């Protein structure tokens, strides 16, 4: 029986060692691969670097009308950011008339912000001022290349209403003569302006093609002095749709990746020192229970890290703080339990009875402390923004994990050690 318990304890230690090694270096067995934590976990904007911008709506709307405008604006910005291929964005409403946009990893901060905040009012206008179609009737827009010149263009696909209106307009303009006499010099000919459709973006004509044939299929394109990048960005703006309101840039900040990584490394170094000191304190002060607590603490850290990876959560610097705070809470639970255990031993109870009684008396205090902290974390997550949410998520995961390790795993391991019948002196249990 003793040998069985000893073997079980060794197996648990071996699993812990494999988990620590996997977290640090990763593991590969055949087709099964687990990457190291540093390569698997997503880094937030304050670590990875990027940009934060706060935009304010320039409108007099209030109440329900303002809420609808802001919801629509948020959706348009989300589509624009996704169309531009910016990774892991965080776009949230802030107050009644502001939008906070976080763009981790973006390289050209100002260009991204300018593209996102453009109103992008697209219109196709005849020379008499009549609007043929608007951006709302564009079904899709993408980068293309002119088959004759191989220059970048923006290819457009119109919806059914837009295709019908465009067909009628191009049929009408195609009937016009291609050239007319120049009013200033009748002996010379000029392109007939009545055959032209002006493609206007934000009150600026980006292209003015002449219509020679009727276009019945709802396909059109915008030509101009585009580069591949500018044509791609214009297509993304058109796909995203027009903003329902003008936006004013209130706050902009850029975080370099070097600063973020340095902050992360500093936080990790501090965490290493802090955790090591905690492990040593628990071992020296509580002896055997302290050693068990150290094992549970390492399991706690592994559980939190792999849960964050499994949930595809983003680690921010406040999230690191939440992780370290969780370590403190896990240790705090063990301290409460072990102090109760020592009291029971001093009252003359056996080690086994003291363990049961100590855990039983400590559990209510631990539950009260963790539940109130968990409620606070929920409030932070619900009302917080950006990094505050990251802190709250990490803290909630840490609380649940600490309850699992400090109460159940620590108790199981302590009983396993007692059943091994190796440590019989109560002084080895801190009494």
Per the prediction, the chain carries an average pLDDT of 83
pLDDT at 374: 93
32 and 125 both lie in a single domain:
no
pLDDT at 348: 85
Q: Which residue has the tokens 């990094």?
A: 387
138 and 21 both lie in a single domain:
no
Please report the DSSP string for 314-383 in residue order: EE-HHHHHHHHHHHHHHHHHHHHHHHHHHHHHHTT--HHHHHHHHHHHHHHHHHHHHHHHHHHHHHHHHH
Give tens-digit pLDDT for 219-247. Answer: 877 777 788 877 887 777 677 666 778 88
pLDDT over 60 at 297, yes or no: yes
pLDDT over 60 at 167, yes or no: yes
263 and 401 both lie in a single domain:
yes
Last residue of a domain, one of 237, 255, 273: 255
328 and 401 both lie in a single domain:
yes
168 and 268 both lie in a single domain:
no
**Number of independent structural domains in the chain:** 2
Residue 200 contacts residue 122 (beta carbons within 8 Å): yes
Instruction: Report CA torsion sign: 326, 331, 333, 334.
Output: positive
CATH number, residue 342: 1.20.1640.10
163 and 98 both lie in a single domain:
yes
pLDDT at 280: 92
- What is the spatial distance between Cα 181 and Cα 190, in angstroms, rounded to a whole number? 6
Q: Which residue range is the domain that position 58 belongs to?
A: 50-255
Residue 267: CB partners within 8 Å, gap ≥ 6?
317, 320, 321, 324
pLDDT over 80 at 16, yes or no: yes
What percentage of the chain has pLDDT greater than the value 90?
10
Last residue of a domain, one of 240, 255, 270: 255
93 and 206 both lie in a single domain:
yes
CATH number, residue 164: 3.30.1360.200
358 and 288 both lie in a single domain:
yes
pLDDT at 386: 64
Task: Phi first, then psi: give them for residue 304, nearest 5 degrees.
Answer: -60, -45
Give tens-digit pLDDT for 350-401. Answer: 888 888 888 988 888 899 989 999 999 999 888 876 678 778 888 899 999 9
Give tens-digit pLDDT for 105-128. Answer: 676 667 667 667 665 567 889 888
409 and 327 both lie in a single domain:
yes
Last residue of a domain, one of 255, 287, 321: 255
Q: How far apart are the first and last CA of the chain?
A: 27
Give tens-digit pLDDT for 320-347. Answer: 888 888 888 888 888 888 988 888 888 8
pLDDT band at residue 177 using 50, 70 and 90 as cut-offs: confident
pTM for the complete prediction?
A: 0.63
- What is the spatial distance between Cα 69 and Cα 64, in angstroms, rounded to a whole number? 9
pLDDT at 168: 92
pLDDT at 275: 86
328 and 260 both lie in a single domain:
yes
150 and 89 both lie in a single domain:
yes
322 and 363 both lie in a single domain:
yes
pLDDT band at residue 258 using 50, 70 and 90 as cut-offs: low
Q: If residue 390 lies in a helix (H) or strand (E), which one and from where to where?
A: helix 387-403
pLDDT at 202: 67
pLDDT at 117: 65
pLDDT over 90 at 73, yes or no: no
pLDDT band at residue 213 using 50, 70 and 90 as cut-offs: confident
């Amino acid at each position: 029986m003793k040998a069985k318990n000893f073997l079980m304890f060794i197996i648990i230690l071996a699993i812990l060692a494999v988990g620590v090694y996997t977290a640090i270096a990763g593991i590969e067995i055949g087709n099964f691969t687990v990457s190291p934590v540093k390569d698997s976990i997503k880094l937030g904007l304050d670590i990875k670097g990027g940009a934060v911008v706060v935009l304010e709506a320039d409108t007099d709307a209030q109440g329900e009308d303002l809420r609808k405008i802001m919801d629509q604006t948020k959706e348009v910005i989300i589509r624009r950011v996704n169309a531009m291929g910016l990774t892991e964005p965080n776009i949230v409403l802030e107050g009644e008339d502001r939008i906070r946009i976080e763009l981790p990893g973006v390289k050209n901060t100002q260009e991204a912000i300018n593209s996102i905040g453009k109103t992008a009012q697209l219109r196709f206008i005849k020379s008499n001022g009549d609007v043929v179609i608007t951006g709302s009737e564009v079904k899709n827009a993408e980068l293309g290349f002119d088959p004759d010149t191989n220059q970048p263009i923006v290819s457009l696909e119109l919806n059914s209403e837009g295709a019908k209106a465009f067909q009628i307009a191009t049929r009408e303009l195609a009937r016009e003569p291609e050239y007319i006499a120049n009013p200033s010099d009748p002996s010379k000919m000029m392109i007939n302006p009545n055959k032209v459709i002006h493609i206007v973006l934000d009150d600026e004509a980006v292209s003015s093609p002449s219509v020679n044939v009727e276009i019945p299929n709802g396909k059109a394109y915008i030509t101009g002095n585009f580069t591949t990048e500018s044509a791609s960005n214009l297509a993304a703006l058109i796909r995203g749709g027009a903003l329902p309101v003008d936006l004013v840039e209130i706050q902009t900040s850029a975080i370099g990746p070097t600063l973020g990584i340095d902050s992360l490394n500093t936080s990790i170094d501090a965490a290493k020192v802090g955790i090591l000191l905690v492990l040593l304190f628990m071992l020296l002060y509580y002896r055997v229970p302290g050693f068990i607590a150290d094992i549970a603490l390492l399991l706690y850290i592994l559980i939190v890290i792999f849960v964050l990876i499994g949930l595809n959560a983003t680690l921010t610097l406040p999230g690191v703080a939440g992780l370290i705070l969780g370590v403190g809470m896990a240790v705090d639970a063990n301290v409460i339990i072990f102090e109760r255990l020592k009291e029971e031993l001093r009252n003359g109870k056996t080690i086994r009875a003291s363990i049961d009684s100590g855990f039983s008396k400590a559990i209510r205090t631990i539950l009260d402390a963790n539940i109130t902290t968990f409620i606070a974390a929920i409030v932070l997550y619900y009302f917080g923004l950006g990094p505050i949410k990251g802190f709250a998520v990490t803290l909630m995961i840490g609380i649940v994990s600490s309850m699992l390790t400090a109460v159940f795993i620590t108790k199981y391991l302590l009983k396993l050690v007692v059943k091994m019948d190796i440590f019989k002196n109560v002084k080895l249990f801190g009494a």
